[in-house]
Amino acid sequence: MRPSILALPILAYAAACTPAAEQAQPQTAAATPAPTVAPILTGEDARDASSYARPAEARVTHVALDLAADFAARRLSGTATLDVAATRDAKQIVLDTKGLEIRTVTDDRGRALPHALGAADADRGAPLTVQLQGARQIRIAYASAPGAEALQWLSPAQTAGKVHPFLFSQGQAILNRTWIPTQDSPGIRQTWEARIVVPEPLSAVMSGERLTPEGEPAATGTRAFRFRMDKPVAPYLIAIAVGDLTFQPLGPRTGVYAEPATLPAAAAELVDTEKMVETAEGLYGPYRWGRYDMIVLPPAFPYGGMENPTLTFLTPTFIAGDRSLNGLVAHELAHSWSGNLVTNAVWADSWLNEGFTSYFENRIMEALYGPRRAAQEAWLSWADMEKALKELGPDAAGTRLHDDSGADSGGIVYDKGATFLRTLERSVGRARFDAYLTSYFDRHAFQPMTSARFLADLRANLVRGDQALERSLLLDQWVYQPGLPANAARPDATAFAPVDSAVAAFNAGGAAARVPYGGWTTAERLRFLNALPRTLPQPRLAELDRNFKLSDSGNAETLFAWLQLALANRYEPAVPAAERFLLAMGRRKFVAPLFETLMGQGDWGQPIARRLYARARPMYHAVTTSAVDKVVK
């Protein structure tokens, strides 16, 4: 289907919304400014099955929140005022909600508007249909449910400081509808503003410009904080955190928030952030979001990081003391271009966010830390992809980049997507590919994108009618077919040659003491641990643990790799380390596989898993429990 963009009759969209296939040459002009209203894509490729919205009839363009945080009730309550753009004959607007208590719906003059909640779906929630009666602004008074999936309310005991409670949100993929009644689809970009009232002495931060950093007086015992995002963003990128927060600047436009107990270590780990922003700009054009700040959340945060504009959310598990895991920061920063600036219109195309970003992350790491580190990290990504292909099967539908199996797509889109872009780079040359990507980000800035439209853009602006190049790239096979195409560009495996020699020597019976583990990078240590045989006798496991202090590792990645090996071999001395790890953080990447490993160990591992999960589950976010509940039954 030919890409098309809908311009609602009452709106005037900018010429920048021209379909990609109709743009003949990459543009190198100054960065495209943010539009007031972002376009809506039409066509089957842009139909979002995860949303009830009908944006071709009426869509949200701006959200104004006025909410109060009630920690005792575990609710956010107040109002959401939505600006609506609609066709002339539109009678209603359909919004996404899940578990919200809708109290009233009025227009901008205070008149009640008829509205109804439809039947609820376990995943998508319930549609809220509002009769517009000519209104172009609607005001919804509501409250989130105490169990809203996007929100995690932490008790003081679950924080670093142990004194004050904490709240944070996680909206991706379709969870923000549990605290914001809007059209919760990544293809319906919206500007927003917010006033958030919180108990003193807590502070609120959000993923937008902070208009009142110190807060302003509100009701007795509370303070209000105001925020603004004047660039249209996908609604899953509206994020909030409330807690005992302090801030430390890292550079002219970068800084970090964290609890006071966490801030010194976090700031030391993030010292290269300003250089990262400069490096990213040198690769693919200007950073367009103003400030790039981060917040290091309590350990219950379910992801490594979340690329919320102007305020990346980070897990404390990236703090290793030597900046060896700050590729995570490079990844979230890269999302400021791939994901936040140009966003997948539907979750079936999440590779357009994550695959692009994983490739971009590696380019940042290469430019900042050198080719060797970048090559090692690229090879680890390749190994993860090979493992996923083996586990899923090379013909499995879940190994496609365009994956319409659900809103929360699997991790292979990160690694296979990055491999696809690396293959394009090697096929046409780095300079030509970089020029194309820079142009792509600029031409589609602040707009949604689909796989079909990206391939059309690629053919129009990179392939340019070169039939031999078209045949060699296997573009449609990469995006729409399972498995790995034959032209995939493999990373340089020689970067791990010394490690592979050490693995071979150990496997041949060599002593662990002869392995130079202490002098290796984190990537090299991971390569070693993951390359060891999956079945090892207890004495060999004890030898590894004793020589490398694996069970006491302060690096979350290497500890996880070790625990996966040790628990799969029923190595009893590793159980206390697993218990400490699983009770100390809730990052799904680590938590779900470790419980799966324990549950796979029958009478030995299952009692351990059930005992630990009973204690840990109340600390975990819904994103994590939704995965682990399926494993620990």
Instruction: Give me the phi and psi of 64, to 5 degrees please.
Output: -120, 115
CB 74 within 8 A of CB 202: no
Q: Please provide the DSSP assignment of 65-114 as one string.
A: EEEEEETTTTEEEEEEEEEEEE-TT--EEEEEESS-EEEEEEETTS-B--
Contact present, 192 and 229 (Cβ < 8 Å): yes
| Closest to 544 measured CA to CA, from 504, 510, 499, 582 | 510
Dihedral class, residue 162 (left if φ above 0, else alpha if ψ from -120 to 50, else beta): left
In terms of DSSP bridges, do strands 151-154 and 4-6 run parallel, antiparallel, or are they unpaired?
Answer: unpaired
Q: How far apart are CA 414 and CA 239, in angstroms?
A: 23
Place of tokens 């009478």: 603
Measured CA to CA, the distance from residue 36 to residue 85 in angstroms comes to: 12
Q: Name the one residue in this structure whose structure tokens are 């955190």.
A: 241
Residue 164 has φ and ψ, to the nearest 5°, of -115, 155
Match 């780990």 to its residue by tokens: 269
Q: What are the DSSP calls for 509-566, one per residue?
A: T--GGGS-GGGS-HHHHHHHHHHS-S---HHHHHHHHHHHTGGG-S-HHHHHHHHHHH
- Read off φ and ψ for residue 103, nearest 5 degrees: -95, -55
**Could you give the 3-state DSSP secondary structure of residue 575?**
helix
Closest to 330 measured CA to CA, from 291, 352, 357:
357
As a three-state string, the secondary structure of 243-297 is ECCEEEEEECCEEEEECCCCHHHHHHHCCCHHHHHHHHHHHHCCCCCCCEEEEEC
Q: Is 184 exposed, middle or buried (0-12, 13-18, 19+ CB in 10 A)?
A: buried
The CA distance from 77 to 67, in Å, is 5
Any idea which residues carry the catalytic annotation?
332, 414
As a whole number of angstroms, the distance between CA 198 and CA 168 comes to: 13
Residues 484 and 424: their CA atoms lie apart, in Å, by 14
DSSP 619: G
**79 class by beta-carbon count within 10 Å (0-12 exposed, 13-18 middle, 19+ buried):** middle
H/E element, 230: strand 222-233
Instruction: Report yes or no: 179 and 150 within 8 Å, Cβ to Cβ.
Output: yes
